[in-house]
Amino acid sequence: MAYLFTSESVSEGHPDKIADQISDALLDNFLAFDPSSKVACETLVTTGQVVLAGEVKSKTYLDVQQIARDVINDIGYTKGAYQFSGDSCGVISLIHEQSPDINQGVDRGEKEEQGAGDQGMMFGYATNETKNYMPLALDISHKILIELAKLRREGKEITYLRPDSKSQVTIEYSDDNKPQRIDTIVVSTQHDEFDSDDDTMLKKIKEDIISILIPRVKAQLPDYVKDLFNENIQYHINPTGKFVIGGPHGDTGLTGRKIIVDTYGGKGAHGGGAFSGKDPSKVDRSAAYAARHVAKNLVAAGVASEVLVQVSYAIGVVEPTSIFVNTYGSASVDLNDGEIAKKVADIFDMRPAAIESRLKLRNPIYRETSAYGHMGKEPRTETKVYESPYSGKVSKEVEFFTWEKLDFVDKVKKAFKL
């Protein structure tokens, strides 16, 4: 029997995502000036206020207040009417030094013997239903909000948009797990006050989303996804009505509250650990990236059409405590999932230091991950410049989204004789 599956996304202006972006901007600046920095920072945003907290061990010193303000302004919170602005909000820093009790289990004499920064289990997932090996409902949800943010910044076709927004896409699948059609699209977007009454305002917003935004999103999609759009899609546009009060003035935002948006939209599984604000010694982040790298290369190599990878660690211990693979019965090789997992352990070194090195994670690459998903984006190389009133200027060429590279496909094919 056919079934429905739904994923959501939130914009860069959503309160929780503002918090994530500030936390990752702080992390990037620490790593830019001291790649060995240990960082675990959290952010809270509310009406007119930002609170920074967490633990840091670093040789550098930053103007963390200014970094937070710059992020807020970049997102688009620049007007007093929003009740939250980068130039006028208060920024309180409660960041302190990392506990030596934690650090002793992580740092070792030999880099290769670096222990895991915490216990826990992390998951990576990949599916061949999209070109970027991401679940389709989540991929479309992200694209809707990325395009909505472009429209907001352009300020031409839709002039009333404010930064806070959410999307949700429901897709009907067949018995054999193939997408058949888009059933429902939900978009809630913050907006300026209208001179007209609420009914006229809501009608205008709905017309603009359906006639301007959705065609721009469809234009980016391959034909087989375009075919899923149909005249019977249920559109819920600002279903609660007026949405003028939003952002941190409407809801308090915290780092790490959108872990499903950050990963696979509810497909696969999640170990529960957030990513943003954490340096790569924290396996919550680095091992989740490594597990995605494994899953994506397995699917791209043709081992299976859908793969979930779990890896687990004990704090301070070098080797993972387990590696698990679930192919959901989609494997194309004559091996069971346990046998596939053993081969994965042989192909991919999942020790924390090896992950950091293989994926080049001790670089300032994290602000780019902190909105519209950590997975599914195109790898790229770019030169980034960071300035500090205390440490001067540093320029670094860095590689973004290394865990999305298909650089192990040949090794996987050889190992599995594909």
Gap between the terminal Cα atoms of the chain: 33
What confidence tens digit (pLDDT) does each residue in 57-79 have? 999 999 999 999 999 999 999 98
Give, as one character, the DSSP assignment of residue 315. Answer: B
Instruction: Check whether residue 286 and residue 337 sit in a common domain.
Output: yes
- Residue 174 is assigned to a structural domain of this protein: yes
The answer to whether residue 20 sits within a structural domain is: no
Same domain flag for 310 and 373: yes
- Determine contact, residues 185/214, Cβ cutoff 8 Å: yes
Domain count, the chain: 2
Which DSSP state fits 119? -
Inside any domain, residue 185: yes
Annotated binding site for Mg(2+): 16
CATH of the domain at 361: 3.30.300.10
Q: Measuring CA to CA, which residue among 23, 6, 7 is closest to residue 369?
A: 23
Tens-digit pLDDT profile for residues 342-393: 999 999 999 999 999 999 999 999 999 999 999 999 999 999 999 988 888 9
**Averaged over 322-347, what is the pLDDT?**
97
Q: Are residues 143 and 177 in the same domain?
A: yes
Query: Is residue 175 a part of any domain in this protein?
Result: yes
Give yes or no: residues 218 and 192 share one domain. yes
Q: Which residues have C-beta within 8 Å of that of residue 392, sequence separation ≥ 6? A: none
Q: Binding site membership for L-methionine: which residues?
A: 55, 98, 251, 282
Rounded Cα distance, 211 and 121, in Å: 43
pLDDT at 105 over 60: no
φ and ψ of 352, to 5 deg: -55, -45
* pLDDT score for 196: 84
Annotated binding site for K(+): 42
The reply to whether 180 and 124 lie within a common domain is no
| Among 245, 266, 290, residue at a domain's last position | 245
Instruction: Tell me the C-alpha to C-alpha distance, in Å, between residue 394 and each of 66, 386, 387, 388, 390.
Output: 17, 5, 6, 9, 12
- Do 295 and 406 lie in one domain? The reply is yes
pLDDT(239) > 80: yes
* Model confidence, pTM: 0.95
Which residues make up each annotated binding site? 14, 16, 42, 55, 98, 164-166, 242-243, 251, 257-258, 274, 278, 282
* 214 in the same domain as 321: no
Residue 200 lies in a domain: yes
* Residue 305 included in any domain: yes
**Does 203 reside within a domain?**
yes
- Judgement on whether residues 289 and 181 belong to the same structural domain of the protein: no
- The reply to whether 86 falls in a domain is no
303 shares a domain with 321: yes
Asked whether residue 116 carries a pLDDT value surpassing 90, the answer given is no
The parent domain of residue 351 ranges over: 120-128+281-381+398-416
